[in-house]
Every structure is written in C-alpha cells, then in structure tokens.
C-alpha cells in the first residue's frame, strides 16, 4: 500500500512505562455509521479534533452522498476535478483488488447498485436486459486512469465510481496512522464493524478480542458466532445474511449479490465473509469481493493472496457452516 499522506501533527513521546498508561475511549457517529476507539496513553491525544478532520477530508474526497465531493463531481461528468492523495491511494488499492479478484471487486458498478436500489440514487422502476446491457458498457475499473497530477481520465463520461466498499476501511487506516504518529502503541479502532488493532489491551494484559456476528440472530440481537484475537492487523466483514431467502422447493438458502461481470444479481450460499489483512482498506475491499465471488471462487482466489485470511459463513443442505483459513484458525478464541 502506498504511504498514507495526510497532514497530521507528529508528536512522539518516550520514557513512559506501559503500566502507567490510562485507557481512553471516544465514540460517535460518522460516515453513516458509528465508531468506537480505545487507546492507551499517558495523555489525551486530541482524538475528537483529529477525527473531525479525517472524516471531513474522506467525505470531501469520496462520499457519493455528498453532492460537492470530488467523486460526486466526477460522476456528474466534471472533467476539471483534480483528486487528492487519499482518492489516488484508494483507487490504487481498488485496482489491486479488482485485478486479484478477477473483476469481482469493481467500484464502477455504482450505476447497477443504484439501479437495484442499494445506492444514493433512486432505483429504476423498469429493470430489463436492455437496461442492464446499456449500463454494463460503463462498468470496469480499467476504464479509468488517474495521472500523477491527480487528473481523472474516463473512457466514457458516464462511468460511475463508488468507493463505499473500501473508503470506510481506508478511513480507519487514517485514524490508525494518526494514533501511531501520536506515539500510541496499543489501540483498537472500530468503525461500522470494521476493525484495526495494534499492540494489546494493556488493561487486561491480553490481545484485543473482537467478535464475528452469528447469522442466526434476529434483527434486534447482537450475538456472536466466533471470537478473534486481533493484533497488528485489520478485520472487515461483509454479508447480507439478514436478507437471505430459502428456496421452498429445495430448502437451499441464498443471498443475492450483484455480479459486476454480468450486471445481474447472483444467487449465493455465502452469508458472510470476514477478512484479516495488513490494513483495513484491503480487508474491507476483499470482504466485498469474496461476497461476490462466493465460496468456491473465494477459496481458489485465496491461494494466490498473501497476508490475507478469511472466515466464511455459508449454508449447505439447509445448515449453516463455517470455513476458516489456516491463519484465521490460529487466532480464533472462545467467547
């Protein structure tokens, strides 16, 4: 991953004993979800002001829900936009996942997402093969290039970019970068269920322990199917198991995910994918890619990925089953 460039004050401090660290926490709402940050330090690190700055620049650069953001202007066909380093970093990471997933992770699928009613735009009343074929002409991350100066070149003005499947993870990485620049060695950042952990829980003298949601829970419940020891890694999960349907004839349970290669929703028995990676942007993007790939294609893709581990929850013969890669098995704990 390219070095994250962000204008933050750097203050290092030394000589303090970890036993003297105090647990500090901050929480709130941002990017359409909630966040909680825990860290250990002898002093307050000014998180509120830093978070306001981080969320502001991320929204200004990449929020499709903010009309004056760079990405919204680009999607309206504004060719004069010069995108910032954050945008370029996320685009580069998206290219990596796009390539390694065989196109199943594709931030240009936004028009299709909107068409089916899952994005910021209103869904179309009529969805037929003609409409889908016309939109597919503008799908494909290879139809966009960004110059070193930050100028975006699109093969077609209609190409629609949507970084919502990776921008949240990238924002978490920026928060982690700020904490490290302030000298924090032990922290846990959570934003909308995505996580980044460094060091350990000093108060308990243990690794940070986080959970994976149980797909059998009710809408208003929060039960977990597994615990994970998270250290110096990020974890992101993607899933739509609360929207699954059961075929009345076969009893097979499916979820519907848009296939960016065809433009059509695709039946899948994969209920959720939780991914461990070196940073949260990658974990976030791969989790989305794996949901589109499904179980079998995900397992094939994993063979060529380094430093990526996965925990899959899927259905088979009307039963919920799980798969954990070797690296994921090593950090699973009982709750």
User: Does residue 54 form part of some domain?
Assistant: no
In percent, how much of the chain has pLDDT > 70? 85
Residue with tokens 């890669």: 325
For residue 120, give the CATH number of its domain: 1.10.3980.10
**288 labelled ligand-binding:** yes
Residue 287 CA from chain centroid, whole number: 7
User: Does residue 81 form part of some domain?
Assistant: yes
238: tokens are 């993607």
| Domain of residue 146, residue span | 65-154
What average pLDDT does range 267-281 have in this prediction?
93
- Tally of domains within the chain: 1
User: Does residue 279 form part of some domain?
Assistant: no
* Run of H or E residues at 83: none
CA distance 272 to 280: 17
CA distance 139 to 261: 8
Q: How confident is the model over 236-263, as pLDDT tens digits?
A: 999 875 555 555 666 655 555 788 999 9
Q: How confident is the model over 301-319, as pLDDT tens digits?
A: 999 998 999 999 999 988 8
DSSP 206-271: B-EEEEEE-TTS-TT---EEEEEEESSEEEEEEE-GGG-EE-TTT--EEEEEE-TTTSSEEEE-EE
Q: How confident is the model over 27-56, as pLDDT tens digits?
A: 999 999 999 999 999 898 999 999 999 999
User: Does residue 31 form part of some domain?
Assistant: no
Whole-angstrom Cα Rg for the chain: 20
CA distance 10 to 15: 17
User: Does residue 167 form part of some domain?
Assistant: no
Choose between 321 and 242: higher pLDDT. 321
CA dist 183 to 37, 179, 329, Å?
15, 7, 31
User: Does residue 198 form part of some domain?
Assistant: no
Q: How confident is the model over 93-103, as pLDDT tens digits?
A: 999 999 999 99
pLDDT at 203 exceeding the cut of 90? yes
Q: How confident is the model at residue 268 (pLDDT cuts 50, 70, 90)?
A: confident
- Model's pTM, two decimal places? 0.88
User: Does residue 248 form part of some domain?
Assistant: no
User: Does residue 82 form part of some domain?
Assistant: yes
């Amino acid at each position: 991953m390219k070095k994250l460039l962000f204008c933050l004050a750097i203050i290092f401090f030394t000589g303090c004993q970890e036993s003297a660290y105090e647990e500090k926490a901050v929480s709130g709402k941002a990017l359409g979800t909630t966040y909680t940050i825990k860290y250990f330090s002898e002093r307050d690190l000014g998180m509120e002001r830093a978070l306001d700055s981080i969320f502001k620049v991320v929204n200004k650069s990449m929020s499709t829900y903010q009309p004056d953001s760079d990405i919204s202007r680009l999607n309206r066909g504004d060719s004069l936009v010069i995108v910032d380093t954050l945008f370029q970093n996320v685009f580069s990471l998206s290219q990596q996942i796009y390539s390694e997933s065989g196109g199943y992770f594709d931030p240009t699928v936004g028009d299709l997402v909107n068409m089916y009613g899952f994005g910021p735009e209103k869904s179309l009343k009529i969805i037929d093969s003609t409409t889908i074929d016309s939109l597919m002409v503008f799908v494909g991350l290879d139809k966009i290039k960004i110059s070193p100066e930050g100028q975006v070149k699109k093969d077609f003005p209609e190409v629609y970019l949507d970084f919502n499947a990776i921008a949240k993870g990238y924002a978490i990485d920026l928060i982690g970068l700020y904490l490290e620049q302030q000298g924090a060695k032990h922290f846990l950042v959570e934003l909308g269920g995505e996580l980044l952990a460094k060091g350990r829980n000093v108060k308990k003298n243990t690794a940070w322990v986080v959970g994976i949601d149980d797909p059998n829970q009710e809408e208003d419940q929060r039960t977990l199917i597994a615990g994970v020891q998270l250290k110096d890694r990020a974890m992101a999960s993607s899933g739509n198991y609360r929207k699954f349907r059961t075929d009345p004839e076969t009893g097979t349970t499916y979820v519907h995910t848009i296939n960016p290669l065809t433009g059509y929703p695709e039946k899948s028995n994969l209920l959720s994918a939780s991914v461990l990676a070196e940073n949260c942007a990658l974990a976030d993007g791969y989790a989305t890619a794996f949901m589109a790939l499904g179980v079998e294609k995900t397992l094939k893709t994993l063979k060529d990925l380094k430093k990526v581990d996965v925990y899959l929850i899927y259905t088979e013969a009307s039963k919920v089953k799980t798969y954990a890669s070797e690296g994921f098995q090593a950090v699973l704990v009982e709750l």
